[in-house]
Amino acid sequence: MNITENAIRVLEKRYLAKDENGSCIEDPAGMFRRVAKAVAAADKEYVSEEELKEIEQEFYNMMSNLEFLPNSPTLMNAGRPLGQLSACFVLPIEDSMEGIFESIKNAALIHKSGGGTGFSFSRLRPKGASVNSTGGVASGPVSFMKVFNAATEAVKQGGTRRGANMGILRVDHPDIMEFITCKRDNSEITNFNISVGITEEFMNAVENDEEYNLIDPRTGEVAGTLNAKKVFDVIVDMAWNNGEPGIIFLDRLNKDNVTPELGEIESTNPCGEQPLLPYEACNLGSINLSSMVKDIDNSPEVDYDKLKTVVWKAVHFLDNVIDVNKYPLPEIDEMTRGTRKIGLGVMGWADMLCKLNIPYNSQEAVDLAEKVMSFIQSESRKASIKLAEKKGVFPYYDKSIYKDKDIKLRNATTTTIAPTGTLSIIAGVSSGIEPLFAISYIRNVMDNDELIEVNPIFKKIALEEGFYSDDLMKRIAKKGTIKGFSEIPESVQKIFVTAHDITPDWHVKMQAAFQKYTDNAVSKTVNLANQATREDVYDVFWHAYKTNCKGVTIYRDGSRDMQVLNIGKVK
């Protein structure tokens, strides 16, 4: 198996099954075997024993070849007692003490199993509103968000990973200003990503520099007005300050809600890529695009035949996961089996572009993004229709928009672009649809030894073209870009661009290109240079809005004390 040392370290820490002494009782191949067997088991009642073995082997092969990986909870928990396989959940929060603490309890159960939770706090009465039973006053959404945050901190996801949360508040909630500024200080509410739920009405008011209404969620009555442009400017200012809040276009999420009869979409999962109904969960999986390039006579091209085969198997796999999954709550079981949403996406996009000699920041790359993703979306739907012929449509089909179109799908949605934070490390490729973060970087290993990690595609070319040296790789790591190194050919400099070589508008164009052919949403961070201005942030938000993105998150380099990835710093 072509798995890196770094990947093995990650797997050993959290993914491989261990005995009571904490020693691993399986290797990566054993993990893929365990997962393949557990997920194939969903076909037991449909196929012969021999066919079942074949399905298991197909699943095993595509994972161990690192062509497709399911989200982390599936790798961690399939075929093991916990058995909770989804990464994404959305829970409702009702405007009552019982409702609020019920939701905290449910979130704790989900976090324990490695899932992340998204919540809308919009139904909670505003700060200062009366509380009938006690005659006191309500403390408002932000103060309750802090209770959710503390609960998450305490749970720490026994053995898997720290719980991640998304907190959303509608822009017309009376407490919106407190929400927008609640993470001004980076050390606050650290277990939440926050996003403002933006409406079309609000965006129109921003455009026309008008007032808009704040609405009391209990009565639906107007509770005040604010100037939309001023509110938008504060969102921009906060995002410029440290990346939060993000914004999410609620009306767009609901325009694409395929089961409106079942309810309204109020929130997404923690990283924003999966809008869900209350109590709905979704399991994700990602195709490694770096492994979908074929080289014919030194002329690399996308291997669409292979991509098609992997899409079909991946849809089969993810659909099976819904059946073998053990859900943490009966309500989640009911909703998730009812809509059977799956989220197939991609990773290794930047690596694929490097292999194809296409710069990330080019129209050619944007056009290819549309072509590749529309292919994946269309094949995944065909695969889902085929599954429906054999196993039936999703149970809430009659409450979906598909019944009128007579498109008999097994899954209410099929595509989502996840961040692939860990999956991309396991596969050893660039994450999600992000550009390369660095060409090389220096990792501190034990005994203060320094290890230079070089992008494998770049390393291969550097060796072939004869400009590789450890010294050069160290200098590149310190600079964070290969721009301006005279020993590196211009043609190579043009292709191997990093997140910081790319202007924000290319980030947004890429996100919009993938979104155009994705049922759910796209996880993407628009990276800005440290010197970027508030106006630059404003432009990114506006560009994302105008190009039909479902939300947008920005990050200005160096704007947080704690930053996961650093360039130019030898750590």
What is the binding site for ligand CDP (CB under 6 A)?
Answer: 71-72, 87-88, 115-116, 161-162, 164, 269-271, 273, 284, 418-423
- The smaller minimum CB distance to ligand CDP, of residues 445 and 564, is found at 564
Choose the catalytic residue: 269, 320, 325, 527: 269
Helices (H) and strands (E) in the chain, counts: 21, 18
Q: Which residue is it, tokens 């079309």?
A: 200
Is 273 catalytic? The answer is: yes
Tell me the C-alpha distance between 136 and 499, whole Å.
51
Q: Which residue is closest to ligand CDP by CB?
A: 116
Tell me the C-alpha distance between 505 and 381, whole Å.
30
- The smaller minimum CB distance to ligand CDP, of residues 74 and 481, is found at 74
Pairing of strands 440-444, 293-296: unpaired
Token code pair at residue 322? 């819904």
CB of 76 to ligand CDP, least distance (A): 9
CB of 560 to ligand CDP, least distance (A): 17
- The smaller minimum CB distance to ligand CDP, of residues 100 and 425, is found at 425
- Cβ distance 278 to 265 under 8 Å? no
DSSP H/E element including 493: helix 490-495
Tell me the C-alpha distance between 362 and 54, whole Å.
42
CB of 424 to ligand CDP, least distance (A): 7
Choose the catalytic residue: 273, 280, 379, 434: 273
Choose the catalytic residue: 88, 271, 282, 549: 271
- The smaller minimum CB distance to ligand CDP, of residues 420 and 527, is found at 420
Tell me the C-alpha distance between 30 and 18, whole Å.
12
- The smaller minimum CB distance to ligand CDP, of residues 15 and 179, is found at 15
- Cβ distance 175 to 142 under 8 Å? yes
CB of 18 to ligand CDP, least distance (A): 18
- Packing angle of the helix pair 534-546, 504-516 (nearest 10 deg): 20
473, with CB counted inside 10 A (0-12, 13-18, 19+), is: buried
Token code pair at residue 436? 């390369």
Is 271 catalytic? The answer is: yes
- Cβ distance 255 to 248 under 8 Å? no
CB of 162 to ligand CDP, least distance (A): 6
CB of 8 to ligand CDP, least distance (A): 16
- The smaller minimum CB distance to ligand CDP, of residues 55 and 271, is found at 271
Nearest to 216 by CA among 128, 91, 97: 128
Q: Which positions are annotated as active-site residues? A: 269, 271, 273
